Structure 1
Amino acid sequence: MKKTLVKILKILLPILLGGFLIYLSYSQFTSAQLEEIKVYLRDADYSFIALGMLFAMLSHLSRAWRWNYMLAALDKKPTFLNNIIAIGSGYAMNLIIPRSGEVTRAVIVNRTDDIPVDQGLGTIIAERVLDFILLLAITATAMLTASNEILKFFENGLESAFAKANPIKIITYSIILIIIISIGVVLLKKLKLFQKVKGFLAGIKDGFKTIWTMEKKWWYLAHTLFIWFMYLAMFYVCIFAIPDTDSMPISAVLCAFVAGSFAVAFTNGGLGAYPYLISQVLLLFGYSAVVGTAFGWIVWLSQTFLVIIFGLICFLLFSMRK
């Protein structure tokens, strides 16, 4: 019963969060502003959106090709088509249950090429670690290029917070927070959960090491750079879809891209979170909430449409091959 409840919550909570963010985003707009967003969506230049979808598709194909470099270290090498089927199906599953795509990929290549699920998952975790490192590098670059806007935002926020804050309450709450964190750390060390987390991190470390021991590691790294370049190119070309964003500075592009990338982890494929976070980031650069929201929805809808179509085709091919 408990496991069933956990599974249900894993599905429902991200959907509810996405729905709440959609409500939070649109509750701030008047009917005239909502109509303005609709006009942006209707009149967007979808030739740039199509180009962005092409770049995204190239990244998916590169990811499928890259995967075999690591699987070869396990003396396994599925066909390129089988890898595409696994990756497309995994992306589609992430829209239903966040982070379930990794398991889906491993299960599909297990069915098609008899690769053990745990070994398949190990290679996927390793590539996710490398992808996350690159995302962190892009995040650092975005923060450096937009340092003035970010500092201004925090300065205004801190001034407003300290103007209303009570020093005694701040000290009291800080002490309570430190005590709670300390107790939590002690309890975790005594529980089996700590050992599980420790073992999981060790597994990630071992999986990441295989990147440097594989036969064609430089090709693997080249594909990784190509994948993220395509992600950035996909996002960048979309700014030309509407007139009010076609002169967006690179600092704003990078910050919005990072916000969108992290939003995908919060809800099902970024549902609600993607356009909301992008609109909040673009506010720092002087763009209105209407423009930022419209732009966020244009990018999210186009990429989600691609994932759905790509995923359906892959599911169909998988069923035919079985």
Structure 2
Amino acid sequence: MKKALFKALKIILPLGLGAFLIYYSLSQFTDEQLDEIKSYLIDADYSWIVLGVILALLSHLSRAWRWNYMLKAIGHKPTYITNVLAIGAGYAMNLLIPRSGEVARAVVVNRIDNIPVDKAIGTIIAERVLDFIILLFITATALLISGDLIIDFFVERLNSAFAKADTSTITLYAIIIGVAIILLLLLLKFFKPFKKIKNFISGLKDGFQTIWTMEQKWLYLAHTIFIWSMYLLMFYVSIFALPGTNLIPVSGILSAFVAGSFAVAFTNGGFGAYPYFIAQVLILFGVAETLGTSLGWILWTSQTALVLVYGLVSFLMLAIKNSLSAK
């Protein structure tokens, strides 16, 4: 019962947040502004978006190749096509249930090439850690070249929020946060997850160390750089799809890219959050909210379409492969 409830919440809460952000974002616009967004979407030069999709696909194919280096380091080597299909299936699953794609990837290579699920997940977690480090580096770069623009924005928002809140409101928030922390500690004690957390951290450490001890670590790192270069290049070429966004400075491009990347963690594949976060960041760089929102939706829709098509093809080929193996 508890597991079913948690699984349901994993799906419902991110989707609910995304739906709320869509409603909140669009409700701020007048009818004239909504018509402006529609015209942007209709008149966009989608040849740039197609190029962006191709670049994103190249990053996915590179990720499949990179994965083999780590799997080989732990004594396994599935075929390249298996990795491609596993990653496609994983991306598609993440659209439905956040973070379920990692398990889906591991299950695919387990069923086809008999790679233990726990070892496969260990390699996936290790690559996620490395990817997160790269994202943090890009974030730091965006903050450095943006100067105090973004920092001042958040400081101003926080000061404004505290200025509007009276003492009783602040006290109420403090009580709510305190109660939430106490409940969280009680839940942790009740479910006794400490041993699992310890084992998880230990496995994470072992998996990450494999990156530096494997024979082909430089090729692994080269693919990592290529993957993130394709992500950035995909985002960059897409700004030429709309008149006006091609004038966004490098600092704005990096900041919006970072905002979009983190938005994916909030909802299923960035549903609702991705275009909203990008629009809000681009406002700081002089881009009209209608234009930023249009760019965000074009980017999100194109990348989601790629994941859906890639995922459906992967599931279809896996079904055919299983059918042939059964015979």
Does the TM-score normalized on the shorter chain lie above 0.5?
Answer: yes
% identity of equivalent residues: 64
Alignment match, 1:91: 91
Alignment match, 1:213: 213
Cα drift, residue 179 of structure 1: 6.0
Alignment match, 2:74: 74
Alignment match, 2:238: 238
Residues 40 and 185 of structure 1: is their aligned pair in 2 closer, same or farther, counting only changes over 3 Å?
closer
Alignment match, 2:101: 101
Where does 1:1-322 land on structure 2 (aligned, <5 Å)? 1-166=1-166, 192-322=192-322
Cα drift, residue 184 of structure 1: 6.8
Q: Separation in 1 of the partners of 2:308 and 2:182?
A: 45
Are 1:127 and 1:208, in contact at CA under 8 Å, matched by a contact in 2? yes
Q: Separation in 2 of the partners of 1:176 and 1:292?
A: 37
Aligned residues: 321
Residues 285 and 5 of structure 1: is their aligned pair in 2 closer, same or farther, counting only changes over 3 Å?
same
Which shifted more, 227-236 or 7-16? 7-16
Q: Alignment partner of 2:35: what SS?
A: helix
Q: TM-score, normalised by structure 2?
A: 0.92
Q: TM-score, normalised by structure 1?
A: 0.93
Q: Separation in 2 of the partners of 1:24 and 1:200?
A: 38
Are 1:252 and 1:285, in contact at CA under 8 Å, matched by a contact in 2? yes
Q: Separation in 1 of the partners of 2:181 and 2:101?
A: 35
Q: Separation in 2 of the partners of 1:244 and 1:71?
A: 45
Q: Separation in 1 of the partners of 2:110 and 2:279?
A: 41
Q: Separation in 2 of the partners of 1:255 and 1:115?
A: 39
Are 1:123 and 1:207, in contact at CA under 8 Å, matched by a contact in 2? yes
AA partner of residue 49 (structure 1): I
Q: Separation in 2 of the partners of 1:51 and 1:147?
A: 31
Provide Cα deviations, 1:89-111, integer angstroms capped at 9, x if missing partner.
Answer: 11111111111110110000111
AA partner of residue 119 (structure 2): Q
Cα drift, residue 152 of structure 1: 2.8
Cα drift, residue 187 of structure 1: 5.2
List gaps (5 residues or longer) in structure 2.
323-327
Q: What value does the CA root-mean-square deviation take over the aligned residues?
A: 2.1
